[in-house]
Amino acid sequence: VSSHQPLGPGREFDAVRALVLQWGSRATGIGDDAALVDVPDGERLVVSTDTSVEFVHFRREWLSAAEIGWRATTAALSDLAAMGARPLAVLTALVVPDGWRGELGAIGDGIAAAVEAASTHIVGGDLSTGSELSLCVTVLGSSKSPLTRGGARPGESLWVTGALGGPATALRSLLDGTTPAAAARGRFAHPSARVREALWLAARGATAAIDISDGLIADARHMAAASGVALAVSLDNVPRFGECNPADAASSGEEYELLIAGPGMDCVAFTREFGLALTRIGEVGPAEGAPGVIVTSGGARVEFTGGYDHFSA
Amino acid sequence: VSSHQPLGPGREFDAVRALVLQWGSRATGIGDDAALVDVPDGERLVVSTDTSVEFVHFRREWLSAAEIGWRATTAALSDLAAMGARPLAVLTALVVPDGWRGELGAIGDGIAAAVEAASTHIVGGDLSTGSELSLCVTVLGSSKSPLTRGGARPGESLWVTGALGGPATALRSLLDGTTPAAAARGRFAHPSARVREALWLAARGATAAIDISDGLIADARHMAAASGVALAVSLDNVPRFGECNPADAASSGEEYELLIAGPGMDCVAFTREFGLALTRIGEVGPAEGAPGVIVTSGGARVEFTGGYDHFSA
């Protein structure tokens, strides 16, 4: 179904044409004022937009151009995972400074690889100049019954996918000017959007989900606020990447794992299916608690700060 | 239906909360990982994303913050008009440098005004820092039978809404450091997305449409390429804003008027309905012509260059 509209002349459109050619069957129906997408009957449209900005979300010396494209696209797709939605389409609005123009093909490769990993297609976008590289990725998905942040109910368990702290570990090295270990760097440079995992969990009764791109506890606070419940998280149970300490694991941003509320889950079956841990890290409640997150370690309550805030300082 | 999810703590979310509060009923369902949108039964989803970047699309001394928000949102909504789609929802991903943070409320006012003019709602977005102000606006709409660029057929007429050249006239003054006339400046600073006009024209048999944000002739070339037809445009018939000369009117970018192919139209009824001109400027064909645009003046063919290309030079 890759029926593109022929584009008119011009260098900007030459650049679009080159990207579309390179994307092959990963791009469909490019070239009109807007893209057409069909939402399956009886499903709701789920849509999110997410921007990755040079110097804010990444630096050129940290990542290859393909990794920049992959990460930006995966970060956006992760929002569909957090809603338990199946991806339908991706749009990419790129601001490309002159000094990055030679890397556009490699950025496009990374975008296409992330789109392919999520079994979806690029249906449109926008290309502009500017003084810093910026990738605004819009993702469309659909679901019969989307998972919101607001569905957690007292008595349920809290689950997290994967192991946390890899991106924070890698970022610390990068900011210090040292070379991160390959595994930690991979967690930062090449995250996965947990789309299939979310569908599996939703099918087994998950009631609420959020991706933890701002850090586990910071994002748990959003789930608590949206659900109007207290969430109790045991730091001792937070699954940690490598040697990462529990507090760093629980505050590490740039994670694209999922925090889920729901009933008992078969963690062994989950790991067999996805090769990924699923860990119970706490519970929803008590019912009378004010909305918020209660963090414990060794059975005692601890104060917890951390998580990323774009407008802080 | 303005049921937002409560947000967690943090300055970035304080800024989101302030925007959402200010937007009132113009914002709905903000605060989850993604937004939920219902597409009417039997309609196709129409989606487009469009970025406005400081120094590329506007300069701070040219426009008020509210005008910057209005223009970026209207430019994106214009893509829905060009598809004959009814707006369903808007998402705004904003990159806001420190020096612009005090203007965020005014930018938000402009966004909300444009959203209100199109009778739609803001359902999500993203807020980030960066070194230049950038607004990535994603618009969602729907249509039973979208108008593409590819539907023009030999024998049809070409129609354009409004009068062209105002933005080019204003931009020339601004670039020269002089004050543009108020009317021309208004055409640049406060364009309209021709959403209702496009629905009217689609209901009366229009077969193809494009918005002429890159200039009439440049965008006519896209319609010609997509439709696989020759388009004949008479410069003498191009409706001009004020004293603008025909060549400037036909190359003026930043227009958000529509170029339409279709059968005979009742221009008087159109003007009565919308207070806006609808002008026949040419025709589709001849059938044997190669795809492209034939521009004539005084009955003779003229060479025509012009139109905006982000990647030129």
pLDDT attached to residue A14: 86
What are the φ/ψ torsions at residue B179 (nearest 5 degrees)? -90, 120
User: Residue-wise pLDDT tens for chain A (313 aa)?
Assistant: 345 777 766 777 788 889 999 999 999 988 899 999 999 999 999 999 999 999 988 899 999 999 999 999 999 999 999 999 999 999 999 999 999 999 999 999 999 999 999 999 999 999 999 999 999 999 999 999 999 999 999 999 999 999 999 999 999 999 999 999 999 999 999 999 999 999 999 999 999 999 998 899 999 999 999 999 999 999 999 999 998 999 899 998 889 999 999 999 999 999 999 999 999 999 998 767 789 999 999 989 998 875 544 454 3
Task: Judge: B49–A124 Cβ closer than 8 Å, yes or no.
Answer: yes
Residue B265: is its pLDDT beyond 50?
yes
Nearest Cα to Cα of residue B27 among B65, B66, B1, B45: B1
Judged by CB atoms within 8 Å, which residues 71-130 of A form the interface with B?
78-80, 82-83, 85, 89, 91-93, 95, 101, 123-130
Distance (Å, rounded) from C-alpha B259 to C-alpha B28? 33
Distance (Å, rounded) from C-alpha B182 to C-alpha B185? 5
Residue B8: is its pLDDT beyond 90?
no
Distance (Å, rounded) from C-alpha A48 to C-alpha A42? 20
Whether this model's pTM surpasses 0.80 = yes
Mean pLDDT of chain A: 92
Quick count: other Cβ atoms within 10 Å of Cβ B106?
A: 16
Residues of B in contact with A35 (CB under 8 A): 46-48
Task: Report pLDDT digits (tens) over B214-231.
Answer: 899 999 999 999 999 999
Taking residues B128-144, report their average pLDDT.
96
Residue type, A253: G
In chain B, the percentage of residues whose pLDDT exceeds 90 is 83
Residues of A in contact with B31 (CB under 8 A): 149, 222, 226
H/E stretch holding B251 = helix B246-251
Three-state DSSP state, A190: coil
State CA A158 to chain mean position distance.
19
Distance (Å, rounded) from C-alpha B146 to C-alpha B141? 10
Three-state DSSP state, A30: coil
When CB atoms are compared, the residue of B44, B128, B307 closest to A36 is: B44
Nearest Cα to Cα of residue A229 among A214, A208, A212: A208
pLDDT attached to residue B3: 58
| C-alpha distance from residue B33 to each of A76, A256, B126, B193 (Å) | 9, 12, 10, 29
When CB atoms are compared, the residue of B13, B44, B131 closest to A132 is: B131
Taking residues B12-39, report their average pLDDT.
90
Three-state DSSP state, A34: coil
Task: Judge: A33–B211 Cβ closer than 8 Å, yes or no.
Answer: yes
Taking residues B60-82, report their average pLDDT.
97
What are the φ/ψ torsions at residue A58 (nearest 5 degrees)? -165, 165
Mean pLDDT of chain B: 92
Task: Write the Ramachandran bin of A223: left for phi over 0, alpha for psi from -120 to 50, otherwise beta.
Answer: alpha
| ipTM for this model | 0.91
Judged by CB atoms within 8 Å, which residues 145-174 of B form the interface with A?
146, 148-150
In chain B, the percentage of residues whose pLDDT exceeds 70 is 95
Q: CB neighbours of B211 closer than 8 A, spacing ≥ 6? A: A33, B78, B79, B81, B82, B194, B219, B255, B256, B257, B258, B259
Yes or no: say if B63 and B190 are a contact pair by the CB < 8 Å rule: no
Torsion (CA) A168, A174, A177, A179 in degrees, nearest 10: 100
pLDDT attached to residue A306: 59
Q: Calculate ∠ Cα B166-B167-B171, nearest 5°.
A: 120
Taking residues B267-277, report their average pLDDT.
98
